[in-house]
């Protein structure tokens, strides 16, 4: 990609003749244009630097997470274990025990961030996330039924959650369908179905005995406990494929943000593009839910944080993915090592993400003063 890289500085001073004050004219953002074969990619410099910074932060956080535990390691040991320079206990601790969890946090966090970005973009609503289409409530209902009624194994619980979530998403989409799906109708249908399932969940929790209800609530908060290599690899492959599809759909997604008519006039096939985006968004969340339970809030908050960091006009995938990864990793670290009692990671993501976005809003408001 680097061969045809050229960067254009679009910021310039206007040089007016005479004594007129040199006024700074804003010609737009500095952009990076990559050209290779017949493909040209145009990215804003700020997005590139923000993504690089976030990637660095993810790497540092990962090394910290790999170091910490009841068997403390040095950064050097971690790096050499990762590059294959260690054998024995250090290798086992880093690569076999701690790395799956860290990798899971990064991959799943990124998936959730992108999934949220998809929904916020197609619904043009900063409050949208995969739960809008009912997936979260549906998967919780499925899990609750397996835990409380069938009293099933963990595999059955995952199956029940996926089945419940998918069935709900399909039902919401079908209910919103009327010669095409329109954002507002999708939101309302999602609200209705989610509210019913949420009520059902509350009732099930209320009728269950206390131990079962609490274990269900703990699953519902989402946790990376017991994530092993095979889940990370299967989940990672699925997520990588889905992210690729999401990347290919990102251009139609941007055009859809202009409105259905405008997008259609630019040659976007509106309905298939939107259906594809919904499927990708739900599938990303479903993959994460299958491996770790529903980790809440990353999909809502990551695109918003990313948008404020990169100062992009719309929703973009790459910064959202990196923010999601960092958020999930940091939250899991806090849940394991900082909290007085080990907590489900979902609880920490909610507090960390909410707190950070709140802080961003606060400073943004001060800046505008």
Positions touching another protein (CB under 8 A) are 125-128, 132, 175-176, 178, 182, 184-185, 187-189, 191-193, 195-196, 198-200, 202-203, 205-206, 210, 213-214, 217-218, 221, 259-261, 297, 300-301, 304, 339, 341, 343-344, 347-348, 350-351, 353-355, 357-358, 361-362, 364-365, 368-369
Contacts of 122 (CB under 8 A, 6+ apart): 183, 253, 256, 274, 277, 278, 281
Tell me how far, at minimum, the Cβ of 2 lies from another protein, in Å.
38
CA pair distance 301, 353, nearest whole angstrom: 6
- Residue number, 159 or 198, with CB nearest to another protein: 198
Comparing C-alpha atoms, which of 296, 157, 299 is closest to residue 222? Answer: 296
Shortest distance in whole angstroms from residue 88 CB to another protein: 37
Q: Would you say 68 or 212 has its CB closer to another protein?
A: 212
How far CA 130 is from CA of 20, 82, 116, 282, 336, in Å, comes to 54, 35, 6, 6, 26
Q: How far is the CB of 110 from another protein (least distance, A)?
A: 20
Q: Are strands 31-36 and 6-8 parallel, antiparallel or unpaired?
A: antiparallel
Closest distance to another protein from the beta carbon of 356 (Å): 8
What sign has the CA pseudo-torsion 241, 243, 247, 250? positive
Q: Report in angstroms how near the CB of residue 120 gets to another protein at its nearest.
A: 11
Q: How far is the CB of 149 from another protein (least distance, A)?
A: 17
By beta-carbon proximity to another protein, the closer residue of 128 and 157 is 128
Q: Which is nearer to another protein, 42 or 207 (CB)?
A: 207
In total, the chain counts a number of residues equal to 369
Smaller CB distance to another protein: residue 100 or 164?
A: 164
CB of 307 to another protein, least distance (A): 11
Closest by CA position to 333, among listed 9, 56, 63: 63
Q: Do residues 11 and 26 lie in contact, with contact meaning Cβ atoms separated by under 8 Å?
A: yes
DSSP codes of every residue in 178-213 = SSSB-HHHHHHHHHHHHHHHHHHHHHHHHHS-HHHH
Nearer to another protein, 53 or 126 (CB): 126
- Measured CA to CA, the distance from residue 108 to residue 105 in angstroms comes to 5
Q: Is 44 helix (H, G, I), strand (E, B) or coil?
A: strand
* Residue with Cβ nearer another protein (33 or 188): 188
First CA to last CA distance, the chain: 42
Comparison of 49 and 215: residue with beta carbon closer to another protein: 215
CB 347 to another protein: min, Å = 5
Sequential DSSP letters for 157-177: HHHHHHHHHHHHHHHHHHHHB
């Amino acid at each position: 990609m680097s061969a045809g890289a050229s960067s254009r500085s679009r910021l310039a001073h206007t040089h007016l003749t005479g004594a007129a004050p040199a006024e700074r004219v804003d010609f737009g953002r500095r952009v990076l244009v990559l050209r290779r074969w017949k493909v040209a990619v145009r990215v804003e410099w700020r997005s590139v630097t923000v993504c690089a910074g976030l990637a660095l932060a993810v790497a540092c956080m990962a090394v910290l997470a790999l170091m910490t535990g009841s068997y403390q390691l040095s950064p050097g040991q971690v790096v050499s274990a990762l590059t294959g320079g260690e054998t024995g206990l250090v290798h086992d601790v880093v690569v076999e025990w701690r790395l799956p969890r860290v990798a899971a946090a990064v991959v799943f966090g990124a998936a959730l961030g992108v999934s949220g970005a998809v929904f916020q973009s197609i619904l043009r609503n900063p409050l949208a996330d995969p739960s809008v289409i009912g997936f979260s409530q549906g998967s919780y209902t499925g899990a609750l039924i397996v835990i409380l009624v069938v009293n099933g194994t963990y595999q059955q619980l995952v199956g029940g959650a996926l089945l419940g979530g998918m069935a709900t998403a399909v039902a919401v989409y079908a209910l919103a369908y009327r010669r095409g799906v329109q954002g507002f109708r999708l939101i309302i249908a999602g609200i209705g179905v989610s509210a019913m399932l949420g009520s059902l969940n509350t009732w099930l929790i209320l009728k269950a005995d206390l131990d079962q209800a609490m274990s269900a609530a703990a699953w519902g908060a989402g946790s990376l406990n017991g994530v092993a290599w095979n889940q990370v690899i299967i989940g990672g492959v699925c997520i990588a494929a889905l992210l690729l599809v999401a990347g290919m759909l990102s251009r139609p997604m941007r055009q859809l943000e202009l409105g259905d008519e405008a997008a259609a006039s630019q040659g976007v096939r509106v309905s298939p593009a939107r259906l594809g985006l919904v499927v990708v968004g739900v599938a990303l969340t479903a993959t994460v839910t299958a491996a770790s339970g529903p980790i809440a809030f990353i999909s809502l908050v990551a695109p918003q944080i990313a948008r404020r960091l990169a100062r992009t006009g719309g929703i973009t995938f790459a910064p959202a993915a990196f923010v999601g990864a960092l958020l999930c990793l940091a939250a899991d670290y806090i849940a394991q090592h900082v909290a007085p009692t080990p907590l489900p990671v979902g609880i920490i993501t909610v507090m960390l993400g909410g707190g950070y976005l709140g802080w961003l809003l606060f400073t943004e408001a001060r800046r505008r003063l």
